[in-house]
C-alpha cells in the first residue's frame, strides 16, 4: 500500500512537471509580467536612485507575489475544463496526496521559476548586491506558503465561471503575513540586522500552510463538485 501511495505521488508530480515542460513558453509570461511591473514602478517613481533603491527589496518581492497570484487561477481550471479534475476526485488515491504533489509541482515551476527571475528584477530596481541572495532566499521560502494559499483559493473558486477579482479578494489578504515576514527578511539585511528571525518565521508559516493546504483544498474541491 505504501509503495502504491508513493508511486501515485510520483506519477502525479511527473504529470504536472511534464505538462509544465510542454507549455514551457507560457512560463515566460509571468516572468515578463514581473519585469513589466518593476518597469512601471520605476517609471512612476522616477529615476531617483535613492528612493528606488530603498524600496527595491519590497517592490521586487511584490512583483513576484503578483506574478505568482496571476498563475493561481490556472491550478485547477484547465483540468476542470477537460474533465481531468473529475478523475482526480474519483481516484482511489487520497485526494490530499495528489493535491500535495500538485502543490509541489506548482511551487517548483512557478515559485522557483520566478525566484530565478529575481536577479534581473534586482538589477532593474538597483537592489544592493548584498541583498540579492537574501531576497532569493526569502522568495524561495515564501513562495511555498503563497502556493499553498493559492491552492486553497483556486479550489474554492474552480466551480465558478471565472476566478477573477474574487480570487484576488480571497487570496491576497492571506498573503499578508508572508509578505510581511518575507520583506522583513530583506529589510533586516538592508538595516544590517540578522535575518534569521524573519526568515525562520517565513519558513515556519510556509511549512504550516503547505501541510494544511492539500487537506483544505481537498474539502473545497469535494464541496464544489458534488
Residues that bind other proteins (CB under 8 A): 152, 156-157, 159-160, 166, 169-170, 172-174, 176-177, 180-181, 184, 187, 201, 205, 212, 216, 219-220, 223-224
CB of 178 to other proteins, least distance (A): 8
Number of H helices and number of E strands within the chain? 10, 0
CB of 16 to other proteins, least distance (A): 23
What does the longest C-alpha to C-alpha distance in the chain come to? Answer: 62
Q: Is the CB of 109 or the CB of 156 nearer to other proteins? A: 156
Residue 193 φ/ψ, nearest 5 degrees: -105, 165
Q: Is the CB of 116 or the CB of 160 nearer to other proteins? A: 160
Q: Is the CB of 50 or the CB of 191 nearer to other proteins? A: 191
CB of 76 to other proteins, least distance (A): 14
CB of 11 to other proteins, least distance (A): 28
CB of 150 to other proteins, least distance (A): 12
CB atoms within 10 A of CB 137: 19
CB of 62 to other proteins, least distance (A): 14
Reading the block at residue 31, the C-alpha cell is 516572468
User: In whole angstroms, what is the distance from residue 90 CA to residue 104 CA?
Assistant: 21
Q: Is the CB of 21 or the CB of 208 nearer to other proteins? A: 208
| 40-45 LR contacts (CB < 8 Å, sep 24+) | 41/125, 42/124, 42/125
User: In whole angstroms, what is the distance from residue 206 CA to residue 156 CA?
Assistant: 20
The interaxial angle of helices 196-225 and 132-157, nearest 10 deg, is: 20
Q: Is the CB of 104 or the CB of 170 nearer to other proteins? A: 170
Reading the block at residue 156, the C-alpha cell is 474554492
Give residue for cell 493561481: 72
Q: Is the CB of 132 or the CB of 156 nearer to other proteins? A: 156
Amino acid at each position: 500500500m505504501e509503495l502504491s501511495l508513493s508511486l501515485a505521488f510520483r506519477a502525479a508530480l511527473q504529470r504536472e512537471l511534464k505538462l509544465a515542460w510542454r507549455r514551457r513558453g507560457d512560463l515566460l509570461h509571468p516572468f515578463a509580467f514581473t519585469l513589466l511591473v518593476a518597469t512601471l514602478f520605476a517609471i512612476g517613481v522616477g529615476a531617483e536612485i535613492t528612493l528606488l533603491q530603498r524600496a527595491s527589496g519590497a517592490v521586487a518581492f511584490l512583483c513576484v507575489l503578483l506574478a505568482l497570484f496571476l498563475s493561481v487561477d490556472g491550478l485547477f481550471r484547465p483540468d476542470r475544463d477537460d474533465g481531468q479534475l473529475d478523475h482526480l476526485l474519483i481516484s482511489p488515491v487520497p485526494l490530499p496526496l495528489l493535491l500535495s504533489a500538485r502543490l509541489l509541482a506548482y511551487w517548483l515551476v512557478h515559485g522557483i521559476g520566478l525566484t530565478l527571475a529575481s536577479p534581473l528584477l534586482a538589477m532593474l530596481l538597483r537592489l544592493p548586491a548584498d541583498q540579492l541572495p537574501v531576497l532569493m532566499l526569502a522568495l524561495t521560502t515564501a513562495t511555498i506558503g503563497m502556493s499553498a494559499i493559492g491552492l486553497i483559493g483556486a479550489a474554492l473558486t474552480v466551480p465558478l465561471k471565472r476566478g477573477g477579482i474574487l480570487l484576488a479578494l480571497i487570496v491576497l489578504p492571506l498573503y499578508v503575513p508572508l509578505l510581511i515576514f518575507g520583506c522583513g527578511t530583506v529589510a533586516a539585511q538592508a538595516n544590517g540586522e540578522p535575518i534569521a528571525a524573519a526568515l525562520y518565521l517565513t519558513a515556519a508559516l510556509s511549512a504550516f500552510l503547505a501541510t494544511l493546504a492539500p487537506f483544505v483544498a481537498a474539502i473545497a474541491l469535494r464541496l464544489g463538485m458534488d
